[in-house]
């Protein structure tokens, strides 16, 4: 699947095995996937970036082949981000470009809050700030993003229901928010997602991710509401997705980021799967504007 990529590797970070693939040469670019996917979401984008950059694609803790700790607090965006900061340090990179989609974008924002000096540029894909989404929840967003509250219910209720047919459940998420049916997703990438979804520990890990967002991350973000990051930031969103229809996505970041490049792209929430070439072109254009590390 990953043409030109090394075999997947593991690093033990904070007692958790973090799985990643990497390839290319040049300045480092870290790509963080979202729910309910794995590093495989970058399969068609990463090789294009790797022509000019050294690209690292990990599985977040709780996802894919990475470790799945037991406690809800272990899945805060701060904990997930600390994994990635340590991984990049282990790989020899003190500063790097950071790109995240969905949960990976929320992790990326927290990483920039916690270690802005290490992030050369930040790209967040198809999200509005976590605190804003939860604090000013509209009925339209609550209906479309009901999974935030279903997955956050106490264990083992959501895990038990999902385990009855995990492929059907997670495909309903992909196809429901993505403004596309199965035809919008590469069969080989879908195969990678489906294999992960059938692991009970992945189901538990993804539920804990959403539990932590409400139980831990909301309070962490409350502390940082008056902080504006000054690093170059690209805010991308799918023009046909829920966020793009409900919000002025770039504007939702105006009181958190001072240097925003808006980048609407075709497609829905999963535009990296639907439109990988257009996504890669937008990323390369933004990265090309940044000064050398």
Q: Which residues of 56-94 are buried (b: 16+ CB within 10 A; e: fewer)?
A: bbbbbbbbbbbbbbeebebbbbbbbbbbbbbbbeebebe
Report how far residue 65's alpha carbon sits from residue 30's, in angstroms, rounded to the nearest whole number: 17
In Å, how far are 141, 197, 249, 254 from 132, measured between CA atoms?
12, 29, 11, 12
DSSP H or E run through 36: none
Token duo for residue 140: 């339209």
Contact 57, 38 (CB under 8 A): no
* Beta-sheet strands, E only, within the chain: 9-13, 16-24, 28-32, 54-58, 96-101, 119-125, 229-238, 257-265
Which candidate, 98, 145, 147, places its Cα nearest to that of 125?
98
**Active centre residues (catalytic):** 102, 269
Residue 252 DSSP code: H
């Amino acid at each position: 699947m990953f043409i030109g990529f090394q075999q997947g590797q593991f690093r033990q970070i904070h007692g958790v095995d973090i799985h990643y693939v990497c390839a290319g040469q040049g300045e480092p670019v870290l790509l963080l996937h979202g729910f309910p996917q794995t590093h495989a979401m970058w399969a068609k984008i990463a090789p294009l970036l790797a022509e000019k950059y050294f690209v690292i694609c990990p599985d977040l803790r709780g996802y894919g082949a990475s470790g799945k700790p037991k406690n809800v607090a272990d899945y805060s965006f701060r904990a997930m981000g600390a994994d990635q900061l340590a991984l990049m340090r282990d790989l020899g990179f003190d500063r790097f470009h950071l790109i995240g989609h969905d949960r990976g974008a929320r992790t990326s924002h927290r990483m920039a809050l916690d270690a802005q000096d290490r992030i050369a540029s930040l790209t967040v894909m198809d999200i509005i700030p976590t605190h804003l989404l939860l604090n000013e929840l509209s009925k339209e967003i609550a209906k479309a993003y009901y999974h935030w509250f279903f997955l956050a219910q106490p264990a083992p209720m959501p895990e038990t229901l999902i385990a009855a047919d995990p492929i059907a459940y997670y495909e309903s998420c992909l196809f429901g928010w993505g403004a596309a049916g199965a035809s919008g997703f590469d069969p080989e990438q879908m195969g990678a997602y489906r294999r992960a979804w059938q692991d009970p520990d992945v189901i538990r890990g993804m539920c804990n991710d959403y539990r932590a967002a409400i139980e831990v991350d909301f309070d962490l973000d409350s502390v940082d509401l008056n902080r504006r990051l000054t690093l170059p930031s690209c805010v991308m969103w799918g023009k046909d997705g829920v966020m793009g229809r409900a919000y002025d996505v770039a504007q939702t970041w105006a009181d958190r980021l001072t240097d925003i490049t808006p980048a609407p792209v075709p497609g829905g929430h999963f535009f990296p799967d639907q439109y990988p070439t257009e996504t890669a072109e937008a990323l390369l254009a933004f990265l090309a504007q940044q000064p050398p590390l």
